[in-house]
Each structure stands twice: as structure tokens, then as C-alpha cells.
Amino acid sequence: MYYFVHKNKSYCVDATAESGRLGRLINHSKVAGNCHTKLIDINQRPYLILVASRDISAGEELLYDYGDRSKSSLESHPWLKS
């Protein structure tokens, strides 16, 4: 789950379902991410893109912060803290 706000409206992206899109396979790291999300607006619609935070070596795992800080998620998935 990835939560964000665009023009005072809250959104949640749920990439848990199989979709065939490779972006859903990028893993979480709160502290060691090498990618970050960037919100762009195209025709008044929000889109999230992933951008490299630094040079990434071939074969290196892609990681970014999922952004989920809800108490229930942190209790169910303690790995979100790291």
C-alpha cells in the first residue's frame, strides 16, 4: 500500500494483486531506499513515478519507502519500520 495526497484528496495505491507490471515487485526500505516516488499531474490526474535517488548498479535490488505508517499496518508488518 502506498498513500499520498493530491489536491487535498487522499489516495492509496494497492499493488498487492498480480498485474504483470514490474513496478509492483519493488521492495520496501524506510532507511536504505535507492528510489523515491514523485507525484506528477497530467490533465488534473495524479500519477506516481519512481525516480532513482542515486546511481543504481546493474543487478542491484530496487527499494523505496512504501510510506505506510498506520498503527495496524506496523503491527501486522513490522518490517515496514525498517
Asked whether the predicted pLDDT for residue 75 surpasses 80, the reply is no
Domain around 21 = 2-81
The pLDDT, as a whole number, for residue 74 is: 60
* Pairs from 50-59 (Cβ < 8 Å, separation ≥ 24): 50/23, 50/26
pLDDT tens-digit profile of 37-71? 899 999 999 998 899 999 999 999 999 887 766 67
**Threshold 0.75, pTM exceeds:** no
Q: Which of 51, 30, 31 is nearest to 40 (CA)?
A: 51
Overall domain count for the chain:
1
For residue 43, give the CATH number of its domain.
Answer: 2.170.270.10
**Average pLDDT of the chain?**
82
